[in-house]
Structure 1
Amino acid sequence: ALSVAPVPLPVPVPVACEYGMVHVLSESGTPRGKDYCILYNPQWAHLPQDLSKASLLQLRNWTASLLCSPSDLPASGFSNQIPLVARGNCTFYEKVRLAQSSGARGLLIVSKEKLVPPGGNKTQYEEIGIPVALLSHRDMLDIFRSFGQAVRVALYAPSEPVLDYNMVIIFIMAVGTVAVGGYWAGSRDVKKRSMKHKRDDGPEKQEDEAVDVTPVMICVFVVLCCCMLVLLYHFYDHLVYAIIGIFCLASSTGLYSCLAPCVRRLPFCRCRVPDNSLPYFHKRPQARMLLLALFCIAVSVVWGVFRNEDQWAWVLQDALGVAFCLYMLKTIRLPTFKACTLLLLVLFIYDVFFVFVTPFLTRSGNSIMVEVATGPSDSATREKLPMVLKVPRLNASPLALCDRPFSLLGFGDILVPGLLVAYCHRFGLQAQSSRIYFVACTVAYGIGLLATFMALALMQRGQPALLYLVPCTLVASFLVALWRRELGAFWTGSGFAKDLPQTQWAPAPADSPQPPKDSDAPLSPQPASQEPVRSPLPPEQPQEPSTPEATEAPASASEPRTLGSSTLEAAGQAQAQAQPSPAAQLGTSA
């Protein structure tokens, strides 16, 4: 899910609805009460925001009646009471009209199904002056079980804080993951490129290789994302368990990838499994690596079993999610800034479309992105997609009891800009820019995330985070490259494959007349072919400008030779060693 949805209010629909609270106290004198969530329509009547300003009235248990006709009213009426009636068989207007005519000060309707806003038309709203709200059947049972039949209630609707303190935790996790993942991926990639001439066939060799993203892969990926999102919207209850299973597998792999470098540095427990012919085990992996794999799988399984425990399961989900994002940033690589721009712009359009445009295309008027990310309200499984970072509310608002008590940030809002941060770090190391690209892009990501939170506070609905993250990161990276006059190389990513290994692997000093060891390779298998070439060379031939190989022979001698070197280059190299001229030595020093 590529949207940030820190507990948004419901998306506006034709019938207005808001969450409120019913505060319950026992008439036996117990001072301690309890709050329960209700869903009400403010078009009937508004509720006070402060509990101290709400009237404490007697709750009348009238759930044996549907209150659809005057015969359902009690003989004494509901004077200064709030009746509790069952839902069904008639409209909300008919129920509340009868309750108001009998002296009720409010109406609570018990629903065994999902809570829906009690709607009516404009004329009916003007006629009714008492609040009407829906209470879940489960909460009704808990009220009479905890407080008995004689209770008093007060209806109120506390204001929800614009932003919660948990946004600070989400900000730190997101920016930290992008910074660490981008730094790790960039440093690892540059190190691998500089070590590409070394042979490492030992058991500690890294098996995983980075995958370069091509434009075709980007297009296929976006199409698959669109299809999966639409399928989840229509078949959520059938596909959510498949997504949970994929997350468990991928997150355990990511956790192993993040912890393996730390475990390999430990100075103990390096024993290996005995010789065997089993798949994978025939490589004799270290016992500590097998224990690490079992630990990662166990963490993933524990989360899968207890994923709906709101008290602590979110900690495991966030840890697994961060590890998954770090693993993906290390594995997926954008080779050029052109590829980065294409990926970010396409996903920018994708995110905006599914958050802001789809409410005009769906019957319910809900955003497909927010609906899938937070879980449909009519879902029978009540499962939530795990592809988000989630942190519970830290404020003391009673509305946290109602719905979605977590702030959410999708993995896509971390991975997509994180790939650009990783590219900036790789290019910055290549260009020897003191990591200015990496720092600028990371800071721009943080600014974009803050802009997302501000938009969320102003609009009070789920926001497409890439709407703010993509412009910030792309513009910041572009301006740094333009300021350093490296925009051409930054756009094409030139220099990664050819410049770095030569600067890192010059095997001999510049003023050394001796060729490197690699240049001896073509001499030993062809000793006879070099004598006829060396003898007929005239003394002035190295100074002839028409032969660039002979003129630059000392300079080429400092470069490593391969088995494909020509005999003319070998002859020029040998003659330069025998008769080095001052001009040739000056060119070598230069």
Structure 2
Amino acid sequence: MAAVTAVAGVLARLVAAFLLLAAQVACEYGMVHVISEAGGPKGKDYCILYNPQWAHLPHDLGKASLLQLRNWTASLLCSPTDLPAHGFSNQIPLVARGNCTFYEKVRLAQGSGARGLLVVSKEKLVPPGGNKTQYDEIGIPVALLSYKDMLDIFRRFGRAVRVALYAPNEPVLDYNMVVIFIMAVGTVAIGGHWAGSRDVKKRYMKHKRDDGLEKQEDEAVDVTPVMTCVFVVMCCSMLVLLYYFYDHLVYVVIGIFCLASATGLYSCLAPFVRRLPFCKCRVPDNSLPYFHKRPQARMLLLALFCVAVSVVWGIFRNEDQWAWILQDALGIAFCLYMLKTIRLPTFKACTLLLLVLFLYDVFFVFITPFLTKSGNSIMVEVATGPSDSATHEKLPMVLKVPRLNSSPLALCDRPFSLLGFGDILVPGLLVAYCHRFDIQVQSSRVYFVACTIAYGIGLLVTFMALALMQRGQPALLYLVPCTLLTSFTVALWRRELGVFWTGSGFAKDLPQPPWAPAPADSPQPPKDSDAPLSPSPQPPEEELAKSPPPTEQPLEPVTSEEMGATATTQEPGSPGSSTPEPVGRDLAQPDPEAQPGALA
């Protein structure tokens, strides 16, 4: 009996979801084009919500009749006594939404000669519905207009205006998808390349001069299975909390984004600033926190600049005309910083993380509509912002680009196309792992290139699904299979699946050759991280003994004043000295991209 009840409940939810989708199909967005009768400012389009079962609207503005708008909002138009003395001959009345039905309003308007009806609503726009017999009886369009738009019409154009109702066709795919595609694929490619190169450089460049806090490399964090589980649980909890307490938590997320994006922007711009030949002066000696290490003045100016950019976005984040550019720039910097900081040590860890987040994305997009009272997806509702939100704030953890075409959907419902940061970071971690593995096994970037191309193909498939289904899509549903299967296929084809799965192709895991240690008086490796590595296949000791001194100058040569603040020379065997250590065979031909500054 319990099983039958459960099945009946599931079927009831499916029927309710089907009816909801059917109602959404019947309801369509349109436009009302408004111009002033006195010939004032240029005409403007406003969003309307109409039901095509009452009457269809023309798709072309040139075919729509330009009629006088009659402001009749003082009346509810629920009874014949609410009609004007001379009726609405060849006019479109604008009435307030009241207790009577839409059918009663539109029947009275049509009987008095109106050519259409606009109902002003102070609440959320809902489709003006009725039954089939009422649809057959009415021959004029009826649509809902928001109260805010009504006020803007009369403020901008005055009381004497003409309007035309029309509903242009929606394009299959907006051109802004091209911009999002370039930003997403570019971020994944650059971030994966940078993360892989820097990680391998840290393995090779063990003898580096400590030039203050700004020269210290960011330590990468290896993701473990426990961390993956904790991360997914936190994501699920935060998403559910945002769904129920959006207005309270949205400002917390905005604050976190401001701090994280400023840090990411600093991390991305710091390598370029260090290459500048000027403003190398340092902070005087002091005992203040952080400043006691005497950072360079240019790095402090860079930090102030990054904080200022983040603060400017935080203040003007709701300016739809240009604030999205700052948000995308900060978001890309944040993604690059995370790809550089977080590291997946094995393909097994990559597979676990991507599959778990694959299930997470699918569940919260496709399954949660059957579990919520409103029938809406929790993921889409949170990403786009709840329609009943009192703050009208949007989460910033997305790349957003405004629609480049003029359409009702762009004007009414979704003026921006969105792509979440998770759809960039999660596959990007796999791309970074592939690049690290490429460098270590010297595979000519075959894993990195194949995985990056697979990400681009997966993103194109996501856009195609979005165009066909006309609803929000879980991008990881398409990105995870494309990237994982491509990486797996390449490893299987190269017969490296074992080492690729366990990460045992890395230098630290390879057997050490029986080389004799270098003598104590042999030339020491350059301490500065900007000295290039020789591509000679000889062991490091012979390479150091035979190769001439590096000719490339360090990016920040030590001045006499700086030398005075540090130890000048250390004798061989002293605690601060270092000698070459035997390393694995992968050091025999270090990759050129592992050189410092190659991607900085």
Can you give the 5+ residue segments of structure 1 that lack an aligned partner in the other structure? 1-10, 509-514, 521-554, 564-590
Which residue does the alignment assign to 2:254?
244
AA in 2 matched with 1:232: L
Count residues with an aligned counterpart. Answer: 505
AA in 1 matched with 2:326: L
AA in 2 matched with 1:102: S
Native 8 Å contact 1:193 1:501 kept in 2: no
Aligned mates of 1:498, 1:146 — CA distance in 2? 70
Task: Kindly state the Cα deviation for residue 64 of structure 1 after the two structures are TM-superposed.
Answer: 0.7
1:386 is paired with a residue of what secondary structure?
Answer: coil
Native 8 Å contact 1:455 1:463 kept in 2: yes
Alignment of 1:399-414 (within 5 A): 400-414=410-424
- Alignment of 1:12 with 2:14, yes or no, is no
Native 8 Å contact 2:29 2:408 kept in 1: no
AA in 2 matched with 1:156: Y
AA in 1 matched with 2:187: T
AA in 2 matched with 1:181: G
Which residue does the alignment assign to 1:6?
none
Which residue does the alignment assign to 1:366?
376
1:67 is paired with a residue of what secondary structure?
Answer: coil
Aligned alpha-carbon RMSD (Å): 2.4
Native 8 Å contact 1:78 1:104 kept in 2: yes
Task: Kindly state the Cα deviation for residue 502 of structure 1 after the two structures are TM-superposed.
Answer: 5.1
AA in 2 matched with 1:517: P
Aligned mates of 2:223, 2:41 — CA distance in 1? 64
AA in 1 matched with 2:151: L
AA in 1 matched with 2:253: I
How much identity, in percent, do the aligned residues show?
A: 86
- From 118, 127, 135, the equivalent of 1:117 is 127
Task: Kindly state the Cα deviation for residue 369 of structure 1 after the two structures are TM-superposed.
Answer: 1.1
Question: What TM-score do you get using the length of structure 2 for normalisation?
Answer: 0.80
Aligned mates of 1:399, 1:368 — CA distance in 2? 21
Aligned mates of 1:42, 1:377 — CA distance in 2? 23
- From 141, 145, 169, the equivalent of 1:135 is 145
Task: Kindly state the Cα deviation for residue 61 of structure 1 after the two structures are TM-superposed.
Answer: 1.4
Deviates more, 1:56-65 or 1:178-187: 56-65
Which residue does the alignment assign to 1:102?
112
Question: What TM-score do you get using the length of structure 1 for normalisation?
Answer: 0.81
Task: Kindly state the Cα deviation for residue 42 of structure 1 after the two structures are TM-superposed.
Answer: 1.8
Cα 1:136–1:445, aligned 2, differ >3 Å: closer, same or farther?
same
Native 8 Å contact 2:504 2:510 kept in 1: no
Native 8 Å contact 1:354 1:369 kept in 2: yes
2:195 is paired with a residue of what secondary structure?
Answer: helix
AA in 2 matched with 1:372: V
- Alignment of 1:324 with 2:334, yes or no, is yes
Deviation digits for residues 433-490 of structure 1 (CA, Å, limit 9, x no counterpart): 0010000000100111111111111111111111111111001101110111000000
Q: Which has the higher contact order (CA 8 A, sep 6+)?
A: 1
Which residue does the alignment assign to 1:46?
56
1:309 is paired with a residue of what secondary structure?
Answer: coil
- From 449, 455, 461, the equivalent of 1:445 is 455
2:74 is paired with a residue of what secondary structure?
Answer: coil
Deviation digits for residues 188-244 of structure 1 (CA, Å, limit 9, x no counterpart): 111111234x36444254252100001111111111111111111111111111110
Native 8 Å contact 1:13 1:365 kept in 2: no
Native 8 Å contact 1:158 1:399 kept in 2: no
Alignment of 1:469-480 (within 5 A): 469-480=479-490
Native 8 Å contact 2:441 2:506 kept in 1: no
- Alignment of 1:516 with 2:526, yes or no, is no
- Alignment of 1:356 with 2:366, yes or no, is yes
Which residue does the alignment assign to 1:68?
78
Cα 1:43–1:365, aligned 2, differ >3 Å: closer, same or farther?
farther
Aligned mates of 1:507, 1:395 — CA distance in 2? 66
Task: Kindly state the Cα deviation for residue 367 of structure 1 after the two structures are TM-superposed.
Answer: 1.4
- Alignment of 1:224 with 2:234, yes or no, is yes
Cα 1:144–1:31, aligned 2, differ >3 Å: closer, same or farther?
closer
Deviates more, 1:328-337 or 1:280-289: 280-289
Alignment of 1:552-571 (within 5 A): none
2:21 is paired with a residue of what secondary structure?
Answer: coil
1:434 is paired with a residue of what secondary structure?
Answer: coil
Alignment of 1:411-450 (within 5 A): 411-450=421-460
1:155 is paired with a residue of what secondary structure?
Answer: strand
Which residue does the alignment assign to 1:172?
182
- Alignment of 1:33 with 2:43, yes or no, is yes
Aligned mates of 1:434, 1:267 — CA distance in 2? 34
AA in 2 matched with 1:391: V
Larger radius of gyration: 1
2:413 is paired with a residue of what secondary structure?
Answer: coil
Deviates more, 1:154-163 or 1:393-402: 393-402
AA in 2 matched with 1:516: A
Aligned mates of 1:375, 1:177 — CA distance in 2? 25
Which residue does the alignment assign to 2:32?
22
Aligned mates of 1:302, 1:144 — CA distance in 2? 33
Task: Kindly state the Cα deviation for residue 33 of structure 1 after the two structures are TM-superposed.
Answer: 2.9
Deviation digits for residues 93-140 of structure 1 (CA, Å, limit 9, x no counterpart): 222222223332211011223322223334433333321111122222
- Alignment of 1:336 with 2:336, yes or no, is no
Native 8 Å contact 1:19 1:38 kept in 2: yes
AA in 2 matched with 1:319: A
Cα 1:437–1:329, aligned 2, differ >3 Å: closer, same or farther?
same
Aligned mates of 2:166, 2:159 — CA distance in 1? 21
Which residue does the alignment assign to 1:383?
393
Aligned mates of 1:274, 1:31 — CA distance in 2? 60
Which residue does the alignment assign to 2:551?
none
Task: Kindly state the Cα deviation for residue 70 of structure 1 after the two structures are TM-superposed.
Answer: 2.0
- Alignment of 1:85 with 2:80, yes or no, is no
Alignment of 1:481-496 (within 5 A): 481-496=491-506
Native 8 Å contact 1:481 1:490 kept in 2: yes
Aligned mates of 1:282, 1:13 — CA distance in 2? 66
AA in 2 matched with 1:253: T
Which residue does the alignment assign to 1:263?
273
Cα 1:94–1:294, aligned 2, differ >3 Å: closer, same or farther?
same
AA in 1 matched with 2:93: P
Aligned mates of 2:374, 2:287 — CA distance in 1? 59
Task: Kindly state the Cα deviation for residue 151 of structure 1 after the two structures are TM-superposed.
Answer: 2.7
AA in 1 matched with 2:96: A
Cα 1:395–1:502, aligned 2, differ >3 Å: closer, same or farther?
farther
Native 8 Å contact 1:67 1:85 kept in 2: yes
Cα 1:440–1:297, aligned 2, differ >3 Å: closer, same or farther?
same
AA in 1 matched with 2:361: D
Aligned mates of 1:305, 1:493 — CA distance in 2? 45
Native 8 Å contact 1:194 1:500 kept in 2: no
2:34 is paired with a residue of what secondary structure?
Answer: strand
Task: Kindly state the Cα deviation for residue 399 of structure 1 after the two structures are TM-superposed.
Answer: 5.0
Task: Kindly state the Cα deviation for residue 357 of structure 1 after the two structures are TM-superposed.
Answer: 1.4
Native 8 Å contact 1:35 1:398 kept in 2: no
1:479 is paired with a residue of what secondary structure?
Answer: helix
Which residue does the alignment assign to 1:548?
none
Native 8 Å contact 1:12 1:365 kept in 2: no
Task: Kindly state the Cα deviation for residue 398 of structure 1 after the two structures are TM-superposed.
Answer: 5.9
Native 8 Å contact 1:430 1:500 kept in 2: no
Deviation digits for residues 16-45 of structure 1 (CA, Å, limit 9, x no counterpart): 322111122334467953322111122222
Native 8 Å contact 1:23 1:155 kept in 2: yes
Deviates more, 1:248-257 or 1:126-135: 126-135
Deviates more, 1:449-458 or 1:322-331: 449-458
1:409 is paired with a residue of what secondary structure?
Answer: strand
1:402 is paired with a residue of what secondary structure?
Answer: helix
Aligned mates of 1:231, 1:75 — CA distance in 2? 55
- Alignment of 1:235 with 2:237, yes or no, is no
Deviates more, 1:145-154 or 1:285-294: 145-154
